[in-house]
Every structure is written in structure tokens, then in C-alpha cells.
Structure 1
Amino acid sequence: MFKKKKEKAKREKKSALTVLREYIESFGIALILALIIKCSVVEAYKIPSGSMEDTLLIGDFLLANKFIYGAKIPLLPVHLPAFREPKPGDIVIFKYPRNPKVNYIKRCVAVEGQTVQIINKVLYVDGERFPDLPFSKYTDQRTRSPGRDPRDNFGPYKVPKGHLFMMGDNRDNSADSRYWGSLPRELVLGKAMIIHWSWSPDPNAPIITRKDLLSVPKNIGYNILHFPTRVRWNRLLNIIR
């Protein structure tokens, strides 16, 4: 009798360990799959600045297609073959050349071998005017003189091999290739795909600080109260072009 109880307890213990092991294995597989998807297929990004207005606004949350330009395999210094290379007109997420820990998003306006020139704010690529897209804008009517600032008069500049020339759609308020040079192809992360969420900034929202323990519930309460008006409903699920 005692022997049977002992064997039963042993089986139950083994069964519990088996269940625990299965949970751990399932969690591990899910974690690996999530890592692969994040690193190789799709990744979420938030727009922190106005350099791409009015195409992308501060508070837009977007998904990027990392597969199209050749995704990086997690934990290995290897990239999958690209379906195609970035081309003029693509909105691209990339590592900032001067600080690769920071991600930038700009529009590609020229690729290797093409010549970029800006004359009095007008962008030319290979001698032809680059089309201003519906949401691109200029906010400063003044034109800065050549040599003083590359914003309004730049080049001609031939994009080196293996590089891209990037510009923000908010042409007068964008730190881009006019200032920090062309973008090495290996720093490209993905192509902007879709806006999955858009949250309008509110200067009146309570700021979360360590000194004020009530700042967190105040912020949460404020955002819940103003949720319907802060969400940019008309931007949700917009395809990025």
C-alpha cells in the first residue's frame, strides 16, 4: 500500500515537471519566434520629431517592413537576400550614421550614382526636378544663401556607391543628408509600411516625474479622459507613401 502511494506521488511529481518543462519550452519557442519577427520581418517604430511632416506626424506609430531590403538574421552577422533595393520615393528607417544607436526615418530621394542638387529650395536629381509629394512642405519663405547653409542650396553632389541620399518631407526642418552626408546602405533597417496608431501630443497632459508619486495616476487619468480626442482616428491603418 505504502509502495503504491509512493509510486503515485512520484508519477504526479514527474507529471508536474513535464508540464512545467512544456510551458518553458513553449515560452522559449514563442520568444525566439517573436525575436525573429522583430529582427527580420516587421518592427514597430514611433515618430518623435516633425521632420517628416505632413507625411508622418509626431505621435504616429508605424510598422516597418524589414524583409524587403534584406532582413538581418538574429544573433548572426548575416542578412537575407533583399527583394529589392531602396529606391527614390521610399520612406526608409535607418540607423543614424553619426550615432547608430539612434533610428531615423527619412525619404530616399537618390541612390548611388545619381546627382543631387538643390537650387533655391527646389530639389533636382540627375538634372530633373524631384516631385514634391502631396504632404511635403516648406515652412520658411526665406531662402538661405549658398555656402552659408546647405538647406536651400546644395550640391551638385554625386551619391557614392553603396549609399543613399535621404531627406525629410518637412524640407525646412529636417536634419538629413544635406547636413550629415549620404547614408551607407548597410545602415538601412526597413521600409515604412503602415500607421497602426496615432496619438496627438498634448502639452497640457500631466508630466510623469519621480518626485511626484501621483504623476503616474494623474497622467493615466488625463489620457483616459481625453482618449477620444487625442487619437487621430483618420490616420489609423493608413498606408505610408
Structure 2
Amino acid sequence: MSEESTQQPELETAPAPQKQSRSEMRQWTRDLLVSVLVSVVIITCLYQPVRVEGTSMQPELRNSDRLFINKFVYRFEGISRGDVVVFHYPLNPKESFIKRVIGLPGDHIRIDQGTVYINGKALKEPYVPRRYRDHRSMAAGVVPPHEYFVMGDHRNISEDSRDFGPVPRSDIYGKASFIYWPAGQMGTVH
């Protein structure tokens, strides 16, 4: 007769499924909370998704385009002529408008038959196609300190500083940065 071993082979003991499941659940919950916190910080402080309503910024921005606005950039740099900005509408601060900055504080501005003059020189505006131009005129004036003269690119339908006056710096809260929807329009805002 052969001798049989009575010793049992050692088996690796796996953690109890319940303990492993709890550990995974805690890690998953932690990762989810960190992701939500980072998203809130980004949306609150840096970038905010917005939807364009209206056609006053065509052809650059169309009705229902989705884009990100940079809410942080103007803490480090000044607002420049040509920037597309989002601001609280001066006549109803609960509404937001998006327009292009045309005149800076201290600029002498006038509009003659649709041509904008800044400090006596005609402004080159390649972002306004010929078919979107209008023939409105506006008497000469000076943009007040800490205010900006804004206009839509689709001039013949835009309600802008020609109608409601310059926008106070304190009402401007973001710069249009990136169109993310529709996918065919995806890219930076110029």
C-alpha cells in the first residue's frame, strides 16, 4: 500500500466578497466626489458652458450653438477690441448677451452709414460679412472709463451698444472661447 499524505494543500484565502465590494464602493464614491468637485470648480471659476440664443452674432455664432466661456481670463489680462464677451444685459441684468467688443474705455467712436470709426480711423471688421452690414449712423461720442462699446456681428438685426449704450466692466463676466456643439462648428471663437 502506498502512503497517502494527510496534509491538505494550502489555499489562498480571497477577501470576503462583501469587504471587497465595500472597498470598491468607497473608492468609486471618492472618485465620483472628486470629479464633481473639480467640475464645479472649473464651471464656477474657469469655464462655463452656455447656449447662444439668437442670431445677432452670425456668422461666427449661430442660434443654439453651445460654447464654453472663460470666466477667469479677465482677471489676468484686459479686455481687447475684437473679444467676444458675455455680459449682463444693462436693461435687465437677469439676462445675458454675447457681443463683440468694438470700443474700449476712452475711445472716440462714431458710426457713419454702418462704418465704425475709432479715434478717427475706420475700423476693419472682417468678421462682419457684407450681407450682415447695415447703414445705421451714430453721433460721435467717447466710451466712458470702465465701460465697453459692444456690437453684434449681424449688424442689421443686432441690439447692442448703439441701442443700450456702453457696457460697464462689472457686467462683463466671460470671454467666448470654444464652440463645442454642433460638432461641425467645433473650434475656437474668433
TM-score (norm 2): 0.79
Query: 2:62 is matched with which residue: 48, 57, 61?
Result: 57
1:188 offset after TM fit, Å? Answer: 1.1
Question: Which residue pairs with 1:126 in the alignment?
Answer: 119
1:107 offset after TM fit, Å? Answer: 0.2
Question: Which residue pairs with 1:174 in the alignment?
Answer: 158
- The amino acid that maps onto 1:118 is I
- The amino acid that maps onto 1:159 is V
- Structure 2 SS opposite 1:99: coil
- Structure 1 SS opposite 2:158: coil
Question: Which residue pairs with 1:212 in the alignment?
Answer: none
Are the aligned partners of 1:55 and 1:136 in contact in 2 as well (CA < 8 Å)?
A: no
Are the aligned partners of 2:54 and 2:62 in contact in 1 as well (CA < 8 Å)?
A: yes
Q: Which has the larger radius of gyration?
A: 2
Are the aligned partners of 2:46 and 2:72 in contact in 1 as well (CA < 8 Å)?
A: yes
Question: Which residue pairs with 1:87 in the alignment?
Answer: 80
Query: 2:98 is matched with which residue: 91, 101, 105?
Result: 105
Question: Which residue pairs with 1:197 in the alignment?
Answer: 181
- The amino acid that maps onto 2:93 is P
Q: Provide Cα deviations, 1:95-129, integer angstroms capped at 9, x if missing partner.
A: 11122221110000011111110011111111111
Alpha carbon RMSD of aligned pairs, Å?
2.4
- Structure 2 SS opposite 1:171: coil
- The amino acid that maps onto 1:174 is S
1:24 offset after TM fit, Å? Answer: 6.0
- The amino acid that maps onto 2:119 is D
- Structure 1 SS opposite 2:93: strand
Are the aligned partners of 1:137 and 1:169 in contact in 2 as well (CA < 8 Å)?
A: no
Q: Distance in 2 between matches of 1:171 and 1:140?
A: 5
Give structure 2 stretches of 5+ with no counterpart: 1-17
Are the aligned partners of 1:91 and 1:192 in contact in 2 as well (CA < 8 Å)?
A: yes
Q: Distance in 2 between matches of 1:176 and 1:85?
A: 21
- Structure 1 SS opposite 2:157: coil
Q: Provide Cα deviations, 1:19-69, integer angstroms capped at 9, x if missing partner.
A: 877766655443332221112111111111010111111121111122211
- State the percentage of identical aligned residues: 28
- Structure 2 SS opposite 1:113: coil
